[in-house]
Every structure is written in structure tokens, then in C-alpha cells.
Amino acid sequence: MTNSLQRIFDGMIEALHTRVIPKIQDDSARAQAYGALDMLRNLKPRVEWAVGPLHDDVTAELALVRRIAALLEGASASAPKVPADDLETTSGITAADLEAMRDRLDRHLCEVLHWLDAHRDALPAGRAEEIAGAVRDQQRVRLKREVKLTAPPLFGEISRGQ
């Protein structure tokens, strides 16, 4: 599950305030760090996740959840049910709502995978592997997109103190 944007901001603010700034000896560098801290505190309530990739995640997960529900029809054991409100449309909702919906769908997919482990015999041959493979494939696509969207780390600059 992905961290919330608010939690990421809180972590950066806390790290700067309690761990970084107290160790800076140079007055100019400390002033710049306080400027960065102030900027983060002001950005926090004004920034949200990019809606495009988040919408793509939710749309893909909704399609997967519907596909899995169809594959689980007729199982002899009752499979986890998707919350009805998560099958609604995703158009026009905020990034925060999309994030919450994505997290609920992620939890549902985890429940399905746990259920599969315990109830493989309740499904036709190969069905459990098909469902687990579909979840894995969807997560792989999501991870590849996340990697593309993530800026490369500045390990060289960090290690040289530049």
C-alpha cells in the first residue's frame, strides 16, 4: 500500500525539524533548511497526488476486481465481497477520494489472495492460479509506472556532500 501524501509531508517536516536542522552548524545553511521546512509546511495543505496515474490505478483495479468477481462466481466457499460503493464511477472525484478507493481495492485484492490460499479446492482447476496471476500482472504494471514516475536518486551527490 502506498503512503499517503500527508504522511510523506509529515515525515519530511519532522526529519528536517528534529534531525537535520539541529545538526547544521553554518548559519546560512541553517537558514536555508528553515526555508525548506517553511516551504514544506505551506505546500502540505495545497498539494495532492497527481490524479492521472491515481485514476489509472483505480480504473485498472476496478476492472480487475470485476474480472475476479466473475471468476469466483459459483465457488463453493463464499469469497470476499467488494464494497458496493467501490464499484461506482471514478470520474469527477478528488485525488483524496481516489487514494482512499485505491487503498480499499488494494485491501480487497489482499483478502482475495488470502482467501485463495485457504479455498483453492472450492474453485475449478487452474482458476486460483489465473486469479493470482491477474493480480500479480496488474501490480507489475503499476510498479513499472511508479518506477518511471520516480526521479532517480542523487546518491552520488549525497555521498560527496554536495
DSSP 66-96: HHHHHHHTT-SSPPPPPPGGGGS--TT--HH
pLDDT (average), residues 24-43: 92
Please check whether residue 34 lies inside any domain of the structure.
Answer: yes
Please check whether residue 136 lies inside any domain of the structure.
Answer: yes
The pTM assigned to this predicted structure is: 0.72
CB neighbour class for 112 (10 Å; exposed up to 12, middle 13-18, buried from 19): buried
Does 36 share its domain with 102? no
Helix pair angle (95-119, 127-149), 10° resolution: 150
Number of domains the chain contains = 2
As given in the structure block, the three cell numbers for residue 44 are 502540505
Confidence of residue 88 (pLDDT cuts 50, 70, 90): low
Confidence of residue 10 (pLDDT cuts 50, 70, 90): very high
SS3 content of the chain, % helix, strand, coil (to 5): 75, 0, 25
As given in the structure block, the three cell numbers for residue 63 are 476492472
| 25: containing domain | 5-47
The pLDDT, as a whole number, for residue 161 is 63
Which of 31-40, 51-60, 66-75, 93-102 has the highest mean predicted lDDT (pLDDT)?
31-40
Mean pLDDT of the chain: 87
Does 60 share its domain with 136? yes
The pLDDT, as a whole number, for residue 85 is 66
Please check whether residue 104 lies inside any domain of the structure.
Answer: yes
Confidence of residue 87 (pLDDT cuts 50, 70, 90): low
Please check whether residue 87 lies inside any domain of the structure.
Answer: yes
Does 64 share its domain with 33? no
